[in-house]
Amino acid sequence: MLKLGVNIDHVATIREARYRGRDDGEPDVLQAAIVSEKAGAHGITIHLREDRRHIQDRDVWNVRRATRLRLNLEMANASEIVEMALKVKPDIVCIVPERRQEVTTEGGLDVAAQWQALQQTRQRMNDSGIEVSLFIAPDSSQIDASARVGAQFVELHTGAFAEAFHQGHHEAELERLAAGARQARKLGLQVNAGHGLNYQNVRLLERVPNLVELNIGHSIISRAVFVGLDTAVREMLSAIRHYRS
């Protein structure tokens, strides 16, 4: 069964637009996690960025303490965030590239150029019982490097596929994802995917083998504005229910 990790960062984005700098405010990130859990989500994803533009430290602690779902903490390989993760102990961390000026995460990690630093962080996480995923483009050299780092997972960046789908010519990007997933599995890596996935394009990922989990945020939160979060999560679960590896 293909799992769904609901990214609730943009619940915090809405809250921070009005209540930034306060310890309260709405909408409540923890409530979003609880609703997603009740709707059938398999995990919760949150990105604690260095600039704290949406998710705050208290959100990470609250979600960790109050939900039973698998917690995926997206993070840069930055010392402050690494130390935070080692204290919180999420089930898994997904290490991503991060730039202050970007609106959302752009591109995948250059694991091949950073493999030694990433290997050190991977070892520290694993020693604390935390699995490690690396957010990468479906590129052969990056997949090889991820295996060398010793990560348990890679998360394939589906942004190029999502953009190509929007433009009406997605076949090449879909094949890149499929080839990357096959290569990763042969190297002993488990495979997740995410970025730019929505209710329309996600169905095409049935052609990508070996996927364990999809991490989807913006589309679900956008849909929730009109139908509510419970329904939005259930609709996405319905959209991926026919996946067979």
Specify the pLDDT at position 244: 87
Distance CA 63, CA 224 (A): 20
Structural domain including 69 reads 3-240
pLDDT averaged per 10 residues in sequence order, the chain, 245 residues: 97 97 94 98 97 97 95 97 98 88 67 97 98 98 98 98 94 98 98 98 97 98 98 98 89
Burial category of 102 from C-beta neighbours within 10 Å (exposed 0-12, middle 13-18, buried 19 and up):
exposed
Beta strands in the chain (DSSP E): 3-7, 43-47, 70-75, 92-95, 131-136, 153-157, 190-194, 211-216
Specify the pLDDT at position 98: 81
Structure tokens at 235: 């609709």
Beta strands in 56-197 (DSSP E): 70-75, 92-95, 131-136, 153-157, 190-194
Q: Is residue 19 part of a domain?
A: yes
Q: Is residue 245 part of a domain?
A: no
CA atoms within 13 A on the CB side of 106: 5
Q: Where residue 191 sits, what CATH number does that domain have? A: 3.20.20.70
Specify the pLDDT at position 245: 74
Total count of domains within the chain: 1
Contacts of 162 (CB under 8 A, 6+ apart): 195, 196, 197, 198, 201
Specify the pLDDT at position 105: 54
Structure tokens at 234: 């259930």
Specify the pLDDT at position 36: 98
Q: Is residue 119 part of a domain?
A: yes
Q: Is residue 214 part of a domain?
A: yes
Q: Is residue 224 part of a domain?
A: yes
> Known catalytic residues?
47, 74, 195
Q: Is residue 27 part of a domain?
A: yes
Structure tokens at 89: 């102990």
Specify the pLDDT at position 100: 54
CB 96 within 8 A of CB 76: yes
Predicted TM-score (pTM) of the model is: 0.94
